[in-house]
């Protein structure tokens, strides 16, 4: 029974770790996706499924391998899940379908606007922060080797690469407006700071 339950955090580790790979298939190649006559998501959605299944296949040999087996580690994980879920709920109303990259691959159907309100006024990438919080919760709570490794790789390699590439693209698209925003808003805000970004009047 425990092994079956642990498949949930194992799969969540796979799912969250697939996000940077899918992102790299969408954003850097957005120009090519825009040229498609039909919806690019007819190709991107199957690609997302292939990425998830490929990671799951690669990680399956270690799906039951645990570093520790303490039940109380789920109590330590709960704050991470709470922060992650709360962050999602606060972002979605202002960011909406831009989360899937539609603003880049379908620019004619979406307003090209730099989001600087809500949580984006306190941190530059709240959605990635939420992803990492939930992945951390899976790793800490389950004690499974795979989510722990995926969390470490996400923090040290894939998410930093994704952020670096995205910020370069935003600088090209929004110019000085994004540079001003980047200087004023940190990647992760201080727990003791209530500072929020206020866009200068035109």
Domain assignment of residue 99, yes or no: yes
pLDDT band at 201 (very low <50, low <70, confident <90, very high): very low
Say what the pLDDT of residue 112 is: 63
Predicted confidence (pLDDT) per residue in 19-38, tens digit: 988 888 877 776 676 676 77
- Residue bearing the bigger pLDDT, 117 or 160: 160
The answer to the question of residue 8 being in a domain is yes
In a domain, 191, yes or no: no
CATH number, domain at 141? Answer: 1.20.120
Residue 89 lies in a domain: yes
- Residue 45 placed within a domain: yes
pTM for the model = 0.83
What is the total residue count of the chain?
202
Residues of the domain holding 58: 2-184
Number of domains the chain contains: 1
Give the DSSP H or E segment for 182: helix 176-184
What pLDDT sits at residue 202? Answer: 43
In this structure, what token pair is assigned to residue 173?
Answer: 């698209």
Q: pLDDT tens across 75-102, in order?
A: 999 999 999 999 988 887 655 555 555 5
Nearest CA to 95 among 120, 65, 70? 120
Q: What is the 3-state secondary structure (H, E, C) of 64-97?
A: CCECCCCCCHHHHHHHHHHHHHHHHHHHHHHHHH
Domain assignment present for residue 12? The answer is yes
175 located within any domain? yes
pLDDT range class, residue 2, cuts 50, 70, 90: confident
pLDDT, tens digit, 9 for 90 and up, residues 42-62: 778 898 999 999 999 999 998
């Amino acid at each position: 029974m425990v092994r079956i339950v642990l498949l949930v955090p194992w799969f969540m580790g796979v799912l969250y770790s697939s996000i940077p790979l899918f992102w790299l298939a969408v954003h850097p190649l957005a120009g090519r996706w825009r040229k498609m006559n039909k919806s690019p998501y007819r190709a991107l959605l199957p690609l997302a499924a292939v990425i998830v299944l490929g990671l799951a296949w690669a990680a399956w040999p270690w799906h039951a391998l645990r570093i520790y087996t303490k039940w109380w580690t789920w109590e330590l994980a709960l704050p991470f899940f709470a922060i992650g879920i709360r962050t999602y709920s606060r972002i979605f109303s202002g960011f909406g379908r831009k989360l899937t990259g539609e603003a880049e691959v379908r620019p004619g159907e979406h307003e090209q606007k730099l989001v600087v309100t809500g949580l984006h006024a306190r941190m530059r990438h709240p959605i990635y922060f939420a992803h990492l919080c939930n992945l951390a919760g899976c790793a800490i709570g389950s004690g499974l080797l795979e989510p722990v490794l995926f969390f470490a790789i996400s923090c040290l390699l894939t998410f930093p690469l994704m952020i670096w590439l995205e910020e370069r693209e935003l600088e090209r698209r929004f110019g000085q407006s994004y540079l001003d925003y980047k200087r004023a808003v940190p990647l992760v805000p201080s727990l003791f700071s209530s500072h929020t970004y206020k866009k200068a009047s035109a």
